[in-house]
């Protein structure tokens, strides 16, 4: 019997005991593994326990550093929380490459965030439009206490408009609201405003003399922010003279630039390639988003919607040759926060933000976009020169050796053996097994 009542009321130890009995046939090593990952600092563990419901242990990700990022003239060390072996190394390599060619430049293209009240109205659109226009001041008055502090920081509600969606669903309309949330990601702020808008909408509909009895029964379906933020966008870019691209791997800069641009162009027109291409960008983006305590699921959803904004999924990055110069850039929608949430609670998040100089939300947008561009440059550079597997599998060797419980001596021999050879999982396994014979 694996169902249980009152699981959330059990202590952490009782939860683990039940899991071990119900799913692992009483195997005590499972409990040992889970408790091994508890923090030895009881207060710190209590903090982690309270982040979510039904905590039984901690799930760690490595926190790495990619140094030497020059962003708008400032040198940054990039905190990256990620388990994929080659990501931090690739970011560091790209940062070093561009640090010698002028660094990364960024531009904030917009900071608008969106929320919507979704409702059903069975009546005349012209009446509804006049009604919403007439109660506009009430939306602002009703949310005055909610927006007071945000307005003091230069943020607040930017605009509220009625949108007719009846071509999609019969009688469906939206109150489409835009917000400026400054250094806060703003989800709770936006949702609180939206729920207040909904209450005003329903209450005032009952009082509006221009509505029939049926029209007064306006039905709010839901009120929620959107994680699609096409007007909260940052651009990151790099550029240099084509001959300045020359490096150990790039012996013919002109040919490299042309091939690189072809690779980007393929990702622009071929969705199957674009998905993997953009996943590489998100390797860098998500790693810094997680390290700084932001919501990587929201970022992922918004970014991939943005990649489809023109009707077909496409590359987020672009490249061109302008005369004798190479240029590479991307635009990313990023709704981020540097206050609230985990920013002051999670010690590693606090460390990461301090490492980055305690950036504002706009500054963090710039930094994270650069992480994505650097990751993408490293990936496409590898694909168009040495091939992606050479660097990736060299970084992956340690994972393979850990799976095989390799000794230090075996590790040293494997690294030496594959120094000038193509690395594959089967090749490493075969070599270690041969050593052991």
Is pLDDT of 77 > 90?
yes
Residue 415 CB-half CA count within 13 A: 11
Q: Which of 48, 216, 279, 318 is catalytic?
A: 279
Whether residue 392 is predicted with pLDDT greater than 80 in this model: the reply is no
Beta strands 219-225 and 325-333 are unpaired
Please report the pLDDT score of residue 396 as a whole number: 64
pLDDT for 343 equals: 82
Give the domain ranges of the chain: 7-49, 81-110+234-386, 113-225, 392-436
Q: Which pLDDT does position 123 carry in this prediction?
A: 95
CATH number of 81-110+234-386: 3.90.770.10
> How deeply is 218 buried, as exposed, middle or buried, from its count of CB atoms within 10 A (0-12, 13-18, 19+)?
buried
Using the predicted structure, report yes or no on whether residue 388 has a pLDDT greater than 60: no
For residue 428, the model assigns a pLDDT of 81
What's the gap between Cα 171 and its chain centre? 35
Confidence (pLDDT) at 40:
94
Task: Quote the pLDDT of residue 217.
Answer: 94
| Residues 423, 393 contacting (CB under 8 angstroms) | yes
Are 253 and 294 in contact, with CB atoms under 8 Å apart? no
Q: Which position has the higher pLDDT, 302 or 418?
A: 302
- Active-site residue 408, yes or no? no
Asked: is 113-225 a CATH 3.30.70.420 domain? The reply is yes
CA distances from 133 to 171, 179, 395 (A): 19, 18, 60
Residue 162 clears pLDDT 60, i.e. is over it: yes
Helices (H), 165-247: 187-207, 213-216
The pLDDT value given to residue 406: 81
**pLDDT at residue 430 in the model:** 79
Name which residue leads in pLDDT, 386 or 152: 152
pLDDT at 390: 56
**Topology match between the domains 81-110+234-386 and 113-225:** no
How much is the pTM?
0.88
Confidence of residue 1 (pLDDT cuts 50, 70, 90): low
Q: Is the pLDDT of residue 10 over 60?
A: yes
- Indicate whether 342 pLDDT > 90: no
Over residues 58-71, the pLDDT tens digits come to 999 999 999 999 99
Would the pLDDT of 420 be above 90?
no
Between 339 and 411, residue with greater pLDDT: 339
For the segment 34-43, the average pLDDT, to the nearest whole number, is: 95
82-110: per-residue pLDDT in tens?
999 899 999 999 999 999 999 999 999 99
pLDDT tens per residue across span 222-233 = 999 999 999 999
d(C-alpha 318, C-alpha 330), whole Å: 6
Whether 84 sits among the annotated catalytic residues: the reply is yes
Please write the tens of the pLDDT for every residue from 240-287. 999 999 999 899 999 999 999 999 999 999 999 999 999 999 999 999
Report pLDDT for 394. 58
Q: Active-site residue among 49, 72, 84, 215?
A: 84
In the predicted model, is pLDDT for residue 411 greater than 90? no
% of the chain beyond a pLDDT of 90:
85
pLDDT range class, residue 391, cuts 50, 70, 90: low
Please identify which of the residues 195, 268, 295, 362 carries the catalytic annotation.
Answer: 295
**Residue 423: predicted pLDDT:** 72
- pLDDT given at position 407: 85
Active site residue 144: no
Residue 282: which H helix or E strand, with range?
Answer: helix 271-291
Least confident of 3-12, 36-45, 406-415: 406-415
What is the average pLDDT score of the chain?
94
User: What does the pLDDT read at residue 43?
Assistant: 94
Contact at 8 Å (CB) between 330 and 109?
no
pLDDT category at 393 given cuts 50, 70, 90 is low
Q: Please say if 244 is a catalytic residue.
A: no
């Amino acid at each position: 019997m694996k169902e249980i009542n009152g699981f959330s009321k059990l202590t952490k130890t009782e939860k683990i005991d039940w899991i071990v009995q119900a799913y692992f046939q009483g195997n005590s090593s499972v409990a040992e593994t889970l408790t091994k990952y508890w923090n030895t600092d009881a207060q710190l563990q209590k903090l982690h326990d309270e982040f979510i419901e039904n905590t039984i242990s901690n799930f760690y990700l490595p926190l790495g550093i990619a140094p030497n990022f020059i962003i708008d003239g400032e040198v940054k060390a990039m905190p990256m929380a990620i388990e994929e072996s080659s990501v931090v190394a690739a970011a560091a390599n790209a940062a070093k490459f561009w640090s010698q060619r002028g660094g990364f430049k960024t531009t904030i293209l917009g900071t608008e965030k969106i929320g919507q009240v979704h409702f059903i109205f069975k009546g005349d659109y012209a009446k509804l439009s006049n009604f919403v226009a007439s109660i506009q001041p009430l939306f602002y008055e009703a949310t005055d206490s909610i927006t007071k502090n945000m307005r003091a920081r230069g943020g607040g509600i930017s605009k509220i408009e009625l949108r007719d969606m009846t071509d999609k669903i019969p009688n469906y309309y939206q109150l489409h609201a835009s917000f400026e949330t400054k250094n806060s990601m703003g989800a709770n702020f936006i949702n609180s405003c939206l729920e207040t808008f909904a209450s005003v909408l329903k209450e005032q509909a009952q009082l509006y003399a221009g509505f029939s009895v049926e029209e007064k029964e306006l039905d709010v379906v839901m009120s929620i922010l959107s994680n699609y933020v096409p007007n909260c966008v940052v651009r990151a870019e790099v550029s240099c003279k084509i001959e300045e691209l020359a490096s150990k791997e790039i012996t013919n800069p002109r040919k490299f630039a042309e091939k690189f641009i072809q690779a980007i162009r393929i990702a622009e027109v071929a969705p199957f390639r674009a998905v993997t291409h953009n996943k590489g960008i998100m390797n860098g983006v998500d790693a810094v988003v997680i390290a700084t305590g932001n919501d990587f699921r929201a970022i992922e959803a918004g970014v991939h919607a943005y990649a489809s904004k023109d009707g077909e999924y496409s590359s987020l990055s672009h490249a061109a040759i302008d005369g004798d110069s190479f240029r590479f850039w991307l635009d990313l929608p990023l709704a981020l926060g540097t206050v609230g949430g985990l920013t002051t609670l999670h010690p590693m998040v606090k460390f990461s933000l301090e490492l980055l100089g305690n950036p504002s939300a706009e500054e963090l947008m710039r930094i994270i976009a650069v992480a994505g561009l650097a990751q993408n440059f490293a990936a496409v550079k590898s694909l168009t020169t040495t091939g992606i597997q050479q660097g990736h599998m060299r970084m992956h060797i340690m994972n393979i050796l850990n799976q095989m419980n390799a000794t230090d001596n075996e590790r040293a021999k494997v690294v030496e053996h594959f120094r000038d050879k193509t690395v594959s999982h089967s090749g490493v396994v075969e070599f270690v097994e041969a050593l052991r014979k």
